[in-house]
Chain A
């Protein structure tokens, strides 16, 4: 019988948190150093911010799918809400002489708040459903958000901010369109940097991992593991599911803001069902509830299509094959056992191993 045991005095959560922070910080330092030496290709350079954004998306979705145990297929919708909110806010602040960092921070916070509120409002009806039904309805809400972004026109001029559902905003000549319906946002000032992405990833990890290791996290996981037992000890299941969903949506809004402010042009169609599924693939591949797994999966699967460019037309075919192989290997029991034994032998002191009372006898 395999046991999950504290490694020395560290609880499993602390250990996993340290791994997650470690991976991110080491990766950041290594990439920064390589970048300074001019060893990072321009393609990869262009990918750095999207990688950070996708890590945020994957980690935040893991809060819903892995930790709260509800399948959500509309995560790109919250990303979209965050991205376009951030673009509008940063566009409105462009005229002011605020430092770039402050503008970026305000835009990101606004993106997170809007997505969080949206997540809360959508969560109230949606979380009454369970399983497949919940997945389908979140998918629908994701599409609704995408389609709303498709008809929203926004602009700013000396009279202030204009928001309509048709292109005729009646802007002054000096005015500027911020959102252009299906054409999305154009001429966005690119505020996102790799460092900003790194900081936002750390914030996401901080929020998600601290929640996991708190009263709220225990309650969320208890509701996932056994709903009836959770109710029997007096937990308000709906409240904790909604909490996980809202925090996840707010973090997704933050990731979206980072993503949106990284491109000069952004179309609403970018945040479609495929993107939601892509994020879900990161989470599943990295392991449900496993935060550092999500980080690695998001990184690899974002870089992979670029690496596979040499296969030209067969690129996506190769991508799919790699994905299938990785899934098979990661979840094969033999390989799992091997890694587990390897980790045990390397890191655990044998005398720390407590014996189960009465052994494994059942």
Chain B
């Protein structure tokens, strides 16, 4: 089965006409609103015409945006629009059928998930994926395997190098957990945590890999309004403390409109609008994608 739709149907309505103007050689920085402070620097993520087909189904097509070094950007769109697929493309869970993306100016074609993670892209998952049987602290420490770099021999004999690095890892894990006030939960088994805490732990684990870009897949899912408000503050706090870019997928509009500086709206795998929260809110294409087409007034 394949979903067919005419390219032009969508394009007519877009504010930023990325498809027509798309040029391989040219940097795409102008294509998205970068926050003022990031304008003079190269974008951390420069995504160029990314697309993937599953059999006959085009899940994502011509996805082109650039993300600033300290930007908080959001991807929104109806269910099945291909938002999570984009995260899977950015972390190389899937290899793209078309297009590529530059991370920190480097082409990422043909890289594996592990390599991408080492370069500095970390993510959380829509359906929580923790290391259930490890403790909270171990979940975080497992992600610090680049800093904790003793070999198997040290791992077996627990020598001075082991003790020094484990102590440092323990302190850093608690420090990271304290962002979300979770340091007291360090010794609990990850699967025994309440749902909200599990979501927060996933973010801490992603941060423990020292990323330059953090991808959050529906971080507010299942959270109540007060938890969501707290999450908003924490997202800003993470950006300010670590100076990293954050790209998030979210259905909670209050969160997206409040924290994101740039937003891309996705429908049927294509960007139908890009811009600042204000621009997106007033965009007819977005309103149509979410609420359906308005009948012609007589």
Q: Which residues of A pack against B, CB within 8 Å?
A: 1-6, 11-12, 206-207, 210-211, 213-219, 221-222, 224-226, 228-236, 243, 247, 289, 354, 356-362
Q: Which 10 A-B residue pairings sit nearest by Cβ, starting from the closest?
A: A234-B117, A214-B155, A229-B129, A225-B131, A233-B143, A231-B113, A222-B142, A216-B155, A4-B189, A218-B142
Question: Does B141 lie within 8 Å of A3, measured CB to CB?
Answer: no
A359 CB, min distance to chain B CBs, angstroms? 8
A210 / chain B contacts, CB cutoff of 8 Å: 155-158
Can you pick out 19 interface pairs between chain A and chain B where the beta carbons lie within 8 Å of each other? Answer: A4-B188, A210-B155, A214-B154, A214-B166, A215-B148, A217-B155, A221-B138, A226-B130, A228-B93, A229-B130, A229-B205, A231-B113, A232-B125, A232-B129, A233-B142, A233-B208, A356-B185, A356-B188, A357-B185
B113 / chain A contacts, CB cutoff of 8 Å: 231-232, 234
Give CA–CA (A147, B80) in the complex, Å: 54
Question: Does B192 lie within 8 Å of A3, measured CB to CB?
Answer: yes
Question: Does B188 lie within 8 Å of A215, measured CB to CB?
Answer: no
A236 / chain B contacts, CB cutoff of 8 Å: 114
Question: Does A226 lie within 8 Å of B129, measured CB to CB?
Answer: yes
- Which of B123, B139, B181: most chain A CB closer than 10 A? B139
- Residue A215 contacts which of B91, B150, B187, B192 (CB distance < 8 angstroms)? B150
- Residue B192 contacts which of A1, A6, A228, A231 (CB distance < 8 angstroms)? A1
Known: A233-B206, A354-B184. 14 other contacts (CB 8 A): A12-B135, A210-B155, A214-B158, A214-B162, A215-B145, A216-B155, A221-B134, A225-B130, A225-B132, A228-B129, A229-B205, A232-B125, A234-B113, A356-B188
Give CA–CA (A189, B184) in the complex, Å: 58
- Residue B194 contacts which of A214, A219, A235, A357 (CB distance < 8 angstroms)? A357
Give CA–CA (A362, B130) in the complex, Å: 16
Of all chain B residues, which has the CB nearest A229? B129
**How many residue pairs bridge A and B at CB < 8 Å?**
139
B209 interface residue, CB < 8 Å from A?
A: yes
- Which of B91, B113, B196, B209: most chain A CB closer than 10 A? B113
Question: Does B133 lie within 8 Å of A225, measured CB to CB?
Answer: yes
Give CA–CA (A125, B107) in the complex, Å: 31
Give CA–CA (A207, B156) in the complex, Å: 5
A287 CB, min distance to chain B CBs, angstroms? 12
B129 / chain A contacts, CB cutoff of 8 Å: 226, 228-229, 232
Give CA–CA (A312, B12) in the complex, Å: 88
Question: Does A358 lie within 8 Å of B194, measured CB to CB?
Answer: yes
- What 1/0 flags go to B198-241 for Cβ under 8 Å of A? 00000001101100000000000000000000000000000000
A139 CB, min distance to chain B CBs, angstroms? 26
A232 / chain B contacts, CB cutoff of 8 Å: 91, 93, 113, 117, 122-123, 125, 129, 206
B106 interface residue, CB < 8 Å from A?
A: no
- Residue A229 contacts which of B131, B148, B185 (CB distance < 8 angstroms)? B131
A130 CB, min distance to chain B CBs, angstroms? 17
A337 CB, min distance to chain B CBs, angstroms? 16
- Residue A234 contacts which of B114, B133, B166 (CB distance < 8 angstroms)? B114
A221 / chain B contacts, CB cutoff of 8 Å: 131, 133-134, 138, 142
